[in-house]
Amino acid sequence: MQFSKTVLRNFRNFDQQSPAHPELSINWEPGINLILGPNGSGKTNLLESMSILSGWGAFGRTRSVVSWNGSERPAFAGAEISGESRHIITANISSRISLRCDEKTITSTDIRLIMPSILFLSGNVNLIDGSPSARRMFIDRLCALFYPPFARKLADFRYILRTRTLLLRQNKPVSRTDIPYCEIGGWIMEKRREVAAQMMGIIPAGRFTMSVVPEVKGNCDEYLRDALRRNFRGELRALRPQDGPSYDDLAITICSNGRPAHEALSRGQKRRLVLFLLITAGKLIERRMRRKPVMLLDDLTAELDSEGREFVHTELAKTGWQVFITAPENPFLGEGFTCYDTVSFSSRKS
């Protein structure tokens, strides 16, 4: 899939004041699109509009998307998309996001099935050496694409987790949360492990191994039931559950030396590995959904030397997907991309 055109009105810093130009309309090209401009010019805001239009929502509070000039008018984002199918998607944004596809109301889950996308924000470089929550988010986004109930079940589990924690802190019985905690939590854990195993099936042998830890043998529901019984006293002392989806992590080990990736790699190598993981995820999306994903990459080339930037260019060009990359200035040499200037919104093919 790809964005052929996007239209913005009253969206963050893109608030066209002239009556002759009430909206910002941009025609996008297939392949690699570089969104260039100084800090504060709206590069990341453009990616955010595409994130909303592909069903992943805003990067922060939804209300903050509305124009920065103090206007009370709702924000609007629209897109013509093409590829495996053609649609018009619109989003009206105030305190919430209302999505429509071909003039019919649609859910974020259904939009993601039509327009699969992969998002990298500048903080996602911590996917390798950051907290487990960053790696869980990476796996959870894939699970949400492949298993439509996943996002709802994850929200349900977080509610159960908060309820169980509150009961523990109030010194009240928690047994009524046992069954939903194990059933829903076990389902989430199983889906994460299935997706990680499917990604490993795409990764060339001998590079690195990837798996969700802790390792679970057998049914995850039964694993959690045993864990709750085994760690009940620990729960009472800590006043919070000691096992479950909130403790999952993604273990990435380099095959050549058997060391964890966060210990074995330099910062530049970690960025390359992040890109490799994103592309592997895209290949899995293409295989399972039979649709080419769109890649939304914010400042991916930062802190890379010329060799690293050339690696990024080459690997992304090989995919044949539509890619959006933000950067202060053109990070690539040669040809095979289109540049957009966020100050003037002119485009230039290279």
Q: What is the mean pLDDT of residues 288-313?
A: 91
Angle at CA of residue 213, ends 209 and 218, nearest 5°: 105
Q: Inform me whether the pLDDT recorded for 277 exceeds 70.
A: yes
User: For the ranges 171-175, 182-186, 341-345, which has the lowest average pLDDT?
Assistant: 341-345
Q: Exposed, middle or buried by CB within 10 Å (0-12, 13-18, 19+), for 305? A: exposed
Which of these ranges, 49-53, 120-124, 294-298, 314-318, has the smallest mean pLDDT?
Answer: 120-124
On whether the CB atoms of residues 121 and 278 are closer than 8 A, the answer is no
Three-class SS of the chain: CEEEEEEEECECCECCCCCCCCCEEEECCCCEEEEECCCCCCHHHHHHHHHHHCCCCCCCCHHHHECCCCCCCCEEEEEEEECCCCEEEEEEECCCEEEEECCEECCHHHHHHHCCEEEECHHHHHHHHCCHHHHHHHHHHHHHHHCCCHHHHHHHHHHHHHHHHHHHHCCCCCHHHHHHHHHHHHHHHHHHHHHHHHHHCCCCCCCEEEEEECCCCCCHHHHHHHHHHHCHHHHHHHCCCCCCHHHCEEEEEECCCCCEHHHHCCHHHHHHHHHHHHHHHHHHHHHHHCCCCEEEEECCCCCCCHHHHHHHHHHHHHHCCCEEEEECCCCCCCCCEEEEECCCCCEEEC
pLDDT tens-digit series, residues 57-71 = 988 887 777 766 656
- Predicted pLDDT of residue 126: 79
Average pLDDT over the chain reads: 91
Q: CB–CB of 221/179 below 8 Å?
A: no
In the chain, the domains with their CATH numbers are: 2-115+298-349 (3.40.50.300), 128-262 (1.20.1050.90)
pLDDT for residue 183 is more than 90: yes
User: In this model, does residue 347 exceed pLDDT 70?
Assistant: no
